[in-house]
Amino acid sequence: MNQVKTVSLLSLLAGLLVGIGYMIGGSGGALIGLVIAAVTNFFSWYSSDKIALAAYQAQPIAPEQAPELYQMVKTLSDRAQLPMPKLYLVPTPALNAFATGRDPDHAAVAVTQGIVQTLSKDELEGVLAHELTHIQNRDTLTQAVAATVGGAISYIAQVMQFSLMFGGGRNREGGNPLGALAAIVLAPMAASVIQMAISRTREFEADAGAARLTGKPRALASALQRLEAMATQRPMAVNPSFSPLMIVNALPRQVMGGLFRTHPTTEQRIKNLLKVEQELLALNAQPKVAGI
């Protein structure tokens, strides 16, 4: 269900980009919007990992620098039947982590110095399993595409705002001035709402996948509680475009409404993790039949 919801939201986001082009410039504008969607998606596919890692000044970690961390990721990757991702360390005392990359063969996992030093082994394992599940589900690419298309919508709206201010586009064939005005005001907000909805959906899926991968849902639940509590004491400077990549919101509790949250509430995530725990307990309680 979450996969279907994500595809639907991505399609709606791309449709919004084409739609804003149509409202501004008719069929020609719609074509331009479609081209921009294709170009931005290709850019996201190829460069998302480099941009995200550079934004947080992440440094590569060699196996000899952090053997326990490296072995933990290697064990989880093997269990998930994934290639070993590249590991990076973000030099900040804040507690957070993220995964990036266009596919499992070009993936990277970055952890902050603070999260490695603070969490217990089981908690850190849960966080790493969460990030590996993002890679397995190709959420890293999904989020990059959503962020890039959303950014393109905001950029087009901003350009058209200046165009209308200086009298551009009044006589453009097929253009709709009222539609253009509505697009300028509403499209960026709608794009943000859709992008945040995609992010929240993928976080629930990654939590569940991590719980099944480690078999320890409560360890991840404990980690999420600690990460949220520490966000107030050690806030992390983040680019809003990359905030959905993080395992928890990098800033203290968001003041915006639920539609604009990059992540579900910690209470919601823990509730879902406890449901997964019950599923795992029920599965383990089933009698084993010889020969099957």
Catalytic residue numbers? Answer: 131
- Find where tokens 């019950």 sit: 278
- Find where tokens 């950029």 sit: 155
- Find where tokens 């097929």 sit: 174
In angstroms, rounded to a whole number, what is the distance separating the alpha carbons of residues 100 and 135?
7
Q: Give the number of C-alpha atoms closer than 13 A to the C-alpha of residue 44, restricted to the C-beta side.
A: 23
Q: Which CB contacts under 8 angstroms, 24+ apart, belong to 254-263? A: 259/193, 259/196, 259/197, 260/192, 260/193, 260/196, 261/196, 261/200, 262/196, 262/199, 262/200, 263/199, 263/200, 263/203
